[in-house]
Chain A
C-alpha cells in the first residue's frame, strides 16, 4: 500500500493566486513527521516545511502553510500568492519515528506545479 499519495500529477495556477497541493498518508505509527520538498527544473531538492504528528498548530513558513488534518491523514501544502518561481515539482514525504527505519523519508510521486501569468 502506498504510504504517501499525491493524486495530482500536474496543477496550474495563475500568478498571485493561492494553490493547494494534496497529500494523504498512511501509517499506524503514533509519531511521525510530514515534509514538503520543492524540486525546480534544475533538479535540487529544497526543503519547504515540516509538520510533526503531535504539533497542535498547522505549520507555516512564509508563503507556505501545511493544512494538517490528522483524522483524515492529509497534509496538504498551501502556497499563497503564487510566483513564477514557484513552478516546480513538489514532493510530500513522511518519516515514521517508531516503525520507520533510520529516519528515512518515504516520498510521494510528486505534483508538478506550473504558475502562469
Chain B
C-alpha cells in the first residue's frame, strides 16, 4: 500500500458542484501539503499544514478550502467547482526533522470540471 493515499484518483464533475479530495498518510509526518499541477506551470502550492491546528494558505488558495481531520488526514475541498480548476492534484508530506526535507507525494487525483 502507498504511504500517501489519495482518493478519488479520477473524478469528473460539473461546474458548481462541491468536490472533496481526500489524502491519508502512514508516514507519521506532521507536515502535509496540497499542490496543483497544470500543464506548463509545474506544481503550485494550494494549502499546507504543520499539524492539526495549523493550516496555512499557499500561492493559489482562492476557491479551495482544507480540513486537517487528524495527523494522518488532510482533505481539499472545492466548494463550487469551475472549469479552470481542472488539474492534477497532489497531496504530499514531509518530515522537517531529518533527512533532506523532501516531499513524499501521493499518486495524484485527476479532476475534470465540465
Chain A residues with CB below 8 A from B92, complex form: 45
Interface size class of B (residues with CB under 8 A): 20 to 34
Cβ A43 vs Cβ B108 within 8 A: yes
Interface size class of A (residues with CB under 8 A): 20 to 34
Stretch with Cβ within 8 A of A (4 or more), from B16-24, B42-50, B65-73, B75-83? B42-50
Cβ A102 vs Cβ B48 within 8 A: yes
Tell me if A19 is interfacial: C-beta within 8 Å of chain B. Answer: no
- Report the separation of the CA atoms of residues A108 and B56 in the bound assembly, to the nearest whole angstrom: 22
- Using known A-B contacts A102-B31, A102-B50, A104-B33, determine if residue A44 contacts B105 with beta carbons closer than 8 Å: yes
1/0 per position for B90-104, CB-CB distance to A under 8 A? 101010100011111
Cβ A103 vs Cβ B101 within 8 A: yes
Cβ A44 vs Cβ B108 within 8 A: yes
- Report the separation of the CA atoms of residues A110 and B92 in the bound assembly, to the nearest whole angstrom: 18
Minimum CB–CB distance from A49 to chain B (whole Å) comes to 10
Chain A residues with CB below 8 A from B108, complex form: 43-45
- Report the separation of the CA atoms of residues A109 and B31 in the bound assembly, to the nearest whole angstrom: 24
Cβ A52 vs Cβ B100 within 8 A: yes
> By CB atoms of chain A within 10 A, which of B48, B56, B105, B110 has the most?
B105
Tell me if A68 is interfacial: C-beta within 8 Å of chain B. Answer: no
Chain B residues with CB below 8 A from A43, complex form: 88, 107-108, 110
Cβ A44 vs Cβ B107 within 8 A: yes
Tell me if B41 is interfacial: C-beta within 8 Å of chain A. Answer: yes
> By CB atoms of chain B within 10 A, which of A4, A93, A105, A108 has the most?
A105
Known: A102-B96, A103-B96. 17 other contacts (CB 8 A): A4-B42, A33-B100, A33-B101, A35-B102, A35-B103, A44-B105, A45-B90, A45-B103, A45-B105, A47-B103, A47-B104, A50-B102, A52-B100, A93-B43, A102-B50, A103-B31, A104-B58
Chain B contacts to A: CB under 8 angstroms: 31, 33, 40-45, 48, 50, 56, 58, 88, 90, 92, 94, 96, 100-105, 107-108, 110
